[in-house]
Amino acid sequence: MGILVVQFVLIYSFCNAMFIFCSSSSMQLDHPLTTRLEGNESDRLALLAIKAQIQHDPNQVTSSWNESLHFCLWHGVTCSRKHDQRVAKLELMSLTLVGSISPHIGNLSFLRVLNLKNNSFNHQIPPQIGQLRRLQVLLLHNNSLSGTIPSNISNCIQLVTLFLSRNNLVGRIPPKLSSLSKLKSFVLQNNNLTGEIPPSLGNLSSLEAIGLGYNNLEGSIPSVLCRWKKLTIFSLAINRLSGIIPPCIYNISGIVQFEVLSNQIQGTLPSNLGTTAFPNLQIFSVDENQFTGAIPWSISNATNLVWFQCSSNKLTGQVPNLQNLHNLVVFNVQDNNLGTGKHGDLSFVSELINATSLTWLGFSHNNFGGTLPTSISNLSTNLQMIFLQGNRLEGSIPTGLGNLVNLLGLLMGENNFTGSIPRDIGKVSRLQEIYLGNNKLYGSIPSSLGNLTELTILHLQGNNLNGSIPSSLGECHQLLELDLSHNNLDGKVPQQLLIGLHSLSISLNLSKNHFTGSLPFDIGKLKNLAALDVSYNMLSGQLPSSLGSCESLEVLYIQCNFLEGLIPSSMKELRGIRDLDLSLNNFSGEIPQFFETLGNLGNLNLSFNQFWGAVPTEGIFRNASATSVLGNTKLCGGIASLGLPVCNFKESKGGELSHRMKLVIFLTSGFTLLGLGVVLALIFLRKRRKETEVSTFENSGLPVSYATLLKATGGFSSVNLIGVGAFGSVYKGILSDDKVVVAVKVLNMLHRGASKSFMAECEVLRNIRHRNLVKILTACSSIDFSGNSFMALVYEFMENGSLEDWLHPSTGNEELLEAPKSLSLVQRLDIAINIACALDYLHNHCETPIVHCDLKPSNVLLDKDLTGHVSDFGLARFLQESTNVSRNQSRSIGIRGSVGYVAPEYGMGSEVSTYGDVYSFGILLLEMFTGKRPTDRMFGDGLNLHYYVKTALPKRVTDIADSLILQGGNINVEESHNMSSLILIFGIGLACSVESPTTRKAISDVAYELHSIRENLLN
């Protein structure tokens, strides 16, 4: 009986085993009708709870999570082989799932991998994850998780990989995570974590990769992190960390990737970087910190280096040799103080030819000088971005850039590049961004740029480009921003340009050129444009009604043109307009009421037009500080703070005046005006010998009204200001009718003596003509739009400014910084001869001798050929013919000129004489060749410029000569005849600046001797 029982049991066990085997086999064949086996119910229920928390499943990946399949066969679920029917992996990555993570996740007690990355899970990370003691991989990055990091994740003691990056986590990094002794990858980047880096993390002795970047961590980097001896990736980028990098960090030899960019870290880079410090270095990024000192020369031997970024620091010195860095892909040292500003700074560019994978080259906003090596065109054809802007580079842009066929961005603005834009840039068909603005490029815009069909940004502003806009630019159908402002472009705005560039959405800037004609009707095709600037041109005609179609416009600048007529009613459609400037034109009619309804309008300038009638009072017109209507003399009404007269449109009681009454009034007014004209003519004839008539210059046909000069100078804009003197300011202007470039000297009528200076200068300049005297074109004595007295003199424009600018360049002048100025020995001598000839003419060849009285470098102007012209005759005096007064003297006393240049006898009350001009010339001559002002701080206690030179001659001439003469030009000053020439020049300066007036050289002899020195010097 016992045997039978045993046999039964054995048979039953065998059958049962066979059933399970068959069922298992059928399960592995993934039969759709498989019957669910009895398994671990807690895992199945946990999975269903997780499914219940998923609110959006666009790919229906959890549709298989049902009773027809065993949960081990559900999508993303992998069961353990060792522990039958227990979930070992849950992988639902990159499925666009939305929902929260169920706390029931903690019931999957055999889970080793949880991967939910690249979804949209939200809410907090459930702390129940801490129950997963077998968990090795936790990947929750690229979701929308919030809240803090559960500290009980530290209970997952088998954890090797922890990725929580790219979420919305807040709070501090839990110090308890230091108990994860097996952790190799720890990445919390791109969250909102705060606080300091817990020093306890130094206990993570197995760590190989740390990523804590893109948070708000603060404090210093704990030195205990040096315990991470196995570390290969160190990333703390974009936080608020401060202090220095603990030196021991650089001893972690396995580091391949080192990133601490965008913090507030200080100190210097280790001198052994790339050798004994990080010998395996491939990626090094310390951008946007406070590092000082030089780039270590040791990186020349870091042959594994792929990525090197140290931009936006305070690094100085030269760039090390890069010829061994064949694997380099990115080299970025922008925004530092690297370079010397001299030739040869960019020699490292030629050393990058062997870096065949180079894609990014950035060294903008440094102090690199010299020329750009032509070898740049031989760099890797993989190169995509070149950043060179904001340096002191000069010379022409090398041809051959067309070889860089994969270039996407060419940024070379804010330098001193000259020459034309290379036409072969048009061969780089993938170019998307070109920045060549604020250089000194000239010539026309190459039509080949129209081949760049992927171009999105083109900046050519602030150059000397001329000619018309090539219509081929209209082929750049993806262009978003076009800036051609501040050039010398002319002609009409091409219609094809506006038709083709319907993609423009950021801005179109054509301001400060010489465009003529009307604004094309096709401007209305720019429906997506946010900003349009055509100010300071010579556009005429009426505004096209199509302008209202530019419905995205936020900024519209049309000021300072010759546009006229009514404001088109279609502009009421510009609902988004914020800034509108129509000033300095000839618009007329009533101010449109629809301006009141433009709710976003924050600035409206209608000044200096011909508007008439009542100013509206609603909308933008309620704010006087946001609205300007100056210079429209026929306006009335408006809010009180505008100060306009009250409108009075009522007719007289008697209705219209009778025809007879009108005739009487007309005749009466006519005779009155005629009589007044006769009286004024008699008064004028009587006083014309005593008063200066300012409209009798040779070129009095040029416009001289206040309005004309206002428009010519852009409203006396600070942009056009080229000098400020004792009695007023000088502006560059363009007299639009003749396109004449002029210098306009506007007198400051509040300055005592300004009017007298104006009349004196008019009187002198109308009587003299000489090639070395500044040429006055016309004058204006009028009333401005506010009713104030206005006086101005209009001169021929001198392209090279004043001699002062060249002798003493101001470091505060941006324009001078862009173009360092220096004069050679011969150039200085030529200018000295020009000045001497001018004085000789004034003293000895005018009908009545003239004394300038204020000769100094700022009153000597240089034309495009650097020929000198004496200017500013506001203090000049005629020497009166008299038997009792020497021809060399005037009875006018009290003229002092400028400190340092004024003759010593004037200080003792002596009368004005030509001897005083000779003294000023002598001091000026010494200043020109020593480079020192007579008011220099070194002069005092009895030492002045005259004695400084006198005590150095003849043996120490090189000690006192301007160093720029010794360094530059084609003249070798060390040669004996050049030394002799300098000694002779200084001798003339001394002979002209002696104290005794009557022993000074005659200016005619000075001019002759300087001519002789020049001939000997060149021969």
CATH number, domain of 381, equals 3.80.10.10
Q: Which of 426, 443, 460 is the last residue of a domain?
A: 443
Average pLDDT (499-522) is 91
Give the whole-angstrom CA distance, residue 764 versus residue 847: 11
pLDDT, position 739: 72
**Parallel/antiparallel/unpaired status of strands 555-557 and 531-533:** parallel
Q: Provide the mean pLDDT of the chain.
A: 84
* Maximum CA extent, the chain: 169
Assigned domain for 959 exists: yes
% residues pLDDT > 70 (the chain): 86
All residues at 6 or more sequence positions from 490 whose CB lies less than 8 Å from its CB, including other chains: 466, 467, 468, 513, 514, 515, 516
Residues 779 and 863 in one domain: no
pLDDT digits (tens, 9 = 90+) for 251-280: 999 999 999 999 999 999 999 998 999 999
Residues 333 and 395 in one domain: yes
pLDDT level of residue 664 (50, 70, 90 thresholds): very low
All residues at 6 or more sequence positions from 968 whose CB lies less than 8 Å from its CB, including other chains: 822, 824
- Side-chain half-sphere exposure of 326, counting CA atoms within 13 A: 2
pLDDT(89) > 50: yes
pLDDT level of residue 29 (50, 70, 90 thresholds): very low
% residues pLDDT > 90 (the chain): 59
Give the position of tokens 């501090």: 172
pLDDT digits (tens, 9 = 90+) for 417-432: 999 999 999 999 999 9
Assigned domain for 199 exists: no
pLDDT(741) > 90: no
pLDDT(547) > 90: yes
Nearest to 88 by CA among 25, 126, 135, 130: 135
Highest mean pLDDT among 6-20, 194-208, 770-784: 194-208
Q: Identify the three-state secondary structure at position 963.
A: helix
Assigned domain for 775 exists: yes
pLDDT, position 175: 94
Assigned domain for 967 exists: yes
Q: Looking at 287, 533, 805, 854, which residue is catalytic?
A: 854
- Using a 10 angstrom Cβ sphere, with 0-12 exposed, 13-18 middle and 19 or more buried, the burial of residue 283 is buried
Q: Which of 736, 770, 796 is the last residue of a domain?
A: 796
Assigned domain for 823 exists: yes
pLDDT(679) > 80: no
**Distances, alpha carbon 248 to alpha carbons 137, 178, 183, 459, in Å:** 30, 20, 22, 47
Assigned domain for 907 exists: yes
Average pLDDT (493-518) is 90
Tokens of 990: 């001394």
Give the whole-angstrom CA distance, residue 222 versus residue 530: 49
pLDDT level of residue 651 (50, 70, 90 thresholds): very low
How many C-beta atoms surround the C-beta of residue 472 within 10 A? Answer: 20
pLDDT level of residue 814 (50, 70, 90 thresholds): very low
Residues 371 and 393 in one domain: yes
Assigned domain for 380 exists: yes
**Long-range contacts of range 738-742, CB-CB < 8 Å, 24 or more positions apart?**
738/702, 739/514, 739/538, 740/702, 740/777, 741/797, 742/712, 742/777, 742/794, 742/795, 742/796, 742/797
pLDDT(448) > 90: yes
pLDDT(999) > 90: no
Residues 783 and 819 in one domain: no
Residues 782 and 828 in one domain: no
Give the position of tokens 């029931």: 104
Q: Which of 764, 796, 828 is the last residue of a domain?
A: 796
Cβ–Cβ under 8 Å, residues 192 and 169? yes
Average pLDDT (144-151) is 96
* Domains held by the chain: number: 3
Residues 844 and 956 in one domain: yes
Lowest average pLDDT, out of 58-67, 191-200, 662-671, goes to: 662-671
Assigned domain for 91 exists: no
CATH number at residue 779: 3.30.200.20
pLDDT(902) > 80: yes
Give the whole-angstrom CA distance, residue 533 versus residue 555: 8
pLDDT, position 976: 59
Torsion, CA 517, CA 519, CA 520, CA 522, rounded to 10: 170
Inter-axis angle of helices 825-844 and 914-930, to 10 degrees? 180
pLDDT, position 980: 81
Residues 378 and 432 in one domain: yes
Q: Identify the three-state secondary structure at position 710.
A: helix
pLDDT, position 407: 95
pLDDT(17) > 70: no
854 catalytic? Reply is yes
Q: Identify the three-state secondary structure at position 582.
A: coil
- CA angle (379, 380, 381) in 5-degree steps: 115
pLDDT, position 409: 94
Residues 916 and 998 in one domain: yes
Respond yes or no on whether the N-terminal peptide bond of residue 904 is cis (omega within 30° of 0): no
Residues 826 and 867 in one domain: yes
pLDDT, position 905: 87
Greater confidence (976 vs 460) lies with 460
pLDDT level of residue 1014 (50, 70, 90 thresholds): confident
pLDDT level of residue 878 (50, 70, 90 thresholds): confident
pLDDT(702) > 80: no
pLDDT, position 896: 59
Rg (CA), the chain: 41
Average pLDDT (124-136) is 95
Give the whole-angstrom CA distance, residue 255 versus residue 229: 9
pLDDT(683) > 50: no
pLDDT(818) > 50: no
CATH number at residue 1004: 1.10.510.10
Can you give the residue range of the structural domain that contains 850? 810-1018
- Using a 10 angstrom Cβ sphere, with 0-12 exposed, 13-18 middle and 19 or more buried, the burial of residue 101 is buried
Residues 1009 and 877 in one domain: yes
Residues 741 and 834 in one domain: no
pLDDT level of residue 83 (50, 70, 90 thresholds): confident
Q: Identify the three-state secondary structure at position 868.
A: strand
Lowest average pLDDT, out of 46-50, 366-370, 408-412, 502-506, goes to: 502-506
pLDDT(694) > 60: no
Average pLDDT (982-988) is 91
Residues 747 and 823 in one domain: no
